[in-house]
Chains A and B, each alone.
Chain A
């Protein structure tokens, strides 16, 4: 799966959890999920579970800890699909 396709799916999955919807208009690989999109840390658990379902992968807590940006998500998922 291409990185651009993964990013599109990542952003689509993130969208309902984003508190700053304006930030979605300029989302990029550098966009920070907690700081820029204001996704709550508890909702990040739901996001990770949704990634697992959508891409049919398993994501360890150690991997989640390394994820800060949309680009980090794309790279993590890209390495697992």
Chain B
């Protein structure tokens, strides 16, 4: 399972003066607060750690809906290459930070990256903020369809609670998906491995039976 989160570092919401004075105390464990304090770029590190916690929480919540987002309990360990792990409730979640000017994107997984066929994209979004949710779903549908060579118009993303669920032609497609947007950016991350295999099997059956449609 995969989770992602994105922070626009230039959004007004991420400015230091916008934060409550007890934000760091509420969100970060002691070691993380010390790292932020010692960092030459404390705001950048603050939001990397935040995005990592959110991404790992999305994975934990998929695995167990009773998981609570208690930020200090999601302890982030990230190295200079922006790879690392998030420790929560006795488990380690693999972590990748994708950083570009003005934003950080965190992707977390319950399994090592080698066991995934991970696809993720971040794009800029400068249209109406109210439409960002729709736009990130369209981005995910388009990219996943291209990666799996399947018809994008038959891909649908619905939600079970707050978890996005992908289906093809009305049937669930085994592609674990996570969506996020903030400020000027949209991003999705997914694990194609199981879904790709299932889609190939479905396509093979369809071809052999001569079906024209799914």
Q: Give the B-binding residues of A (Cβ under 8 A).
A: 19-20, 38, 40-43, 45-46, 48-50, 61-62, 64-65
Contact = CB atoms under 8 A, between A and B. Distances in A.
10 contacts: A19-B129, A38-B129, A42-B13, A49-B20, A49-B26, A50-B20, A61-B71, A62-B68, A64-B69, A65-B69
B69 A46 contact: no
B129 A42 contact: no
Contact of A61 (B13, B20, B70): B70
B85 interface: no
Interface string B114-131: 000000000000000110
B44 to A, nearest CB: 14
Q: Is the interface of B mostly helix, strand, loop or mixed?
A: helix
Contacts of B19: 46
Contacts of A19: 129
B130 A38 contact: yes
Nearest to B24: A45
Contacts of A46: 18-20, 23
Interface in B50-75: 50, 54, 68-71, 73
A67 B130 CA distance: 22
B7 A61 contact: no
Interface string B89-124: 000000000000000000000000000000000000
